[in-house]
C-alpha cells in the first residue's frame, strides 16, 4: 500500500527510550514511573490516569528537557534517519504524533529534517527560573483516544494515513480510519501484535518502507 500521510510515534519507535521514564530515573523514581508507563502503553490504565501524576512527581525542569532532547537523538532506532530521508525526498507528508513532551522531541525532529509544525506532542511549561510549572492539560495527546483525534485532523479528503507505533495508544488511530503498523523492534507488546493491521518485529525501522510506499 502507499500512504499520503505517514505518522510515527516517538518513544520506543523512533528512539529506543521512553522519555518520561528517563526523566524519572534522573530524579530517582524510575521504577515506579516505568510501571505506570507500561500500564498505559499496554492499555491497562487510561493515559489520563497517569499523565499528570507522572509529571507532578518528576517535576522536570528546562535543563532536564534539554538533556532528554539530546538523549532521544543518541538513542535513535536503527534506520530512522534513512526512513525519514526517503519519505521526505518523495514529498510524503510526515508527522510525529506522540504523547511525549514536545520540547524534548523537537531536537530529534530537527535532526530528521521535520518541520516543527509536523510535531504533535504535549507542551510543557516552565517558571521564569526554568523549574517545572505545568503541562498542556487540554492536549488530546495527554488522554486516551488523543492520537485518533490528531489523525482525524491530518486525514485530508481522499488521503490515506498510516500510524506506526509501539503502544496501545497508537492502535487507537484506527478509530480515525488510519492503517496501523505496530513496531516491536524496541518493545514487543502482545496487545499491539493483536490490534495492529500489520506488525513489524525488526530492530531496524527500514523494513517499514516496504509497507508504506
pLDDT at 152: 93
Reduced to 3 states (helix: H, G, I; strand: E, B; else coil), residue 119 is strand
Residue pLDDT tens, the chain, 213 long: 789 999 999 999 999 999 999 999 999 988 878 888 888 778 888 878 888 888 998 999 999 999 999 999 999 999 999 999 999 999 999 999 999 999 999 999 999 999 999 999 999 999 999 999 999 999 999 998 999 999 999 987 667 999 999 998 999 999 999 999 999 999 999 999 999 999 999 999 999 999 998
pLDDT at 32: 79
Q: Which CATH number fits domain 5-212: 3.10.620.30, 3.40.50.2300, 3.40.50.970, 3.40.50.1000?
A: 3.40.50.1000
Give residues with Cβ within 8 angstroms of 122, minimum separation 6.
Answer: 51, 99, 100, 101, 102, 135, 136, 139, 141, 142
Sign of CA dihedral 61, 63, 67, 72: positive
List residues with catalytic annotation: 9, 11
CA nearest to 169, candidates 42, 2, 1: 42
pLDDT at 157: 65
Q: Is the pTM of this model over 0.85?
A: yes
Task: Go through the chain and tell me how many residues it has.
Answer: 213
Give residues with Cβ within 8 angstroms of 164, minimum separation 6.
Answer: 6, 7, 8, 9, 13, 170, 180, 181, 183, 205, 208, 212
Q: Where are the domains of the chain?
A: 5-212
pLDDT at 59: 95
**Strands 132-135 and 124-126, bridge-based pairing:** antiparallel
CA–CA dist 127, 112 (Å, integer): 30
pLDDT at 34: 82
Amino acid at each position: 500500500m502507499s500512504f499520503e500521510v505517514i505518522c510515527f510515534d516517538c518513544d520506543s519507535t523512533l528512539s529506543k527510550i521512553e522519555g518520561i521514564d528517563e526523566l524519572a530515573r534522573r530524579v530517582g523514581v524510575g521504577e515506579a514511573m516505568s510501571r505506570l508507563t507500561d500500564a498505559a502503553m499496554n492499555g491497562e490504565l487510561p493515559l489520563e490516569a497517569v499523565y499528570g501524576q507522572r509529571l507532578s512527581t518528576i517535576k522536570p525542569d528546562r535543563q532536564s528537557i534539554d538533556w532528554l532532547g539530546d538523549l532521544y537523538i543518541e538513542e535513535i532506532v536503527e534506520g530512522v534517519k534513512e526512513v525519514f530521508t526517503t519519505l521526505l525526498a518523495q514529498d510524503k507528508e510526515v508527522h510525529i504524533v506522540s504523547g511525549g513532551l514536545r520540547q524534548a522531541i523537537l531536537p530529534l525532529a530537527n535532526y530528521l529534517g521535520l518541520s516543527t509544525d509536523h510535531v504533535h506532542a504535549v507542551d510543557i511549561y516552565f517558571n521564569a527560573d526554568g523549574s517545572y510549572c505545568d503541562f498542556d492539560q487540554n492536549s488530546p495527546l495527554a488522554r486516551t483516544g488523543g492520537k485518533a483525534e490528531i489523525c482525524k485532523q491530518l486525514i485530508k479528503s481522499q488521503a490515506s494515513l498510516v500510524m506506526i507505533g509501539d503502544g496501545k495508544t497508537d492502535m487507537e488511530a484506527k478509530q480515525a480510519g488510519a492503517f496501523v503498523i505496530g513496531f516491536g523492534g524496541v518493545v514487543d507488546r502482545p496487545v499491539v501484535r493483536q490490534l495492529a493491521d500489520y506488525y513489524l518485529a525488526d530492530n531496524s525501522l527500514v523494513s517499514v518502507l516496504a509497507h508504506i510506499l
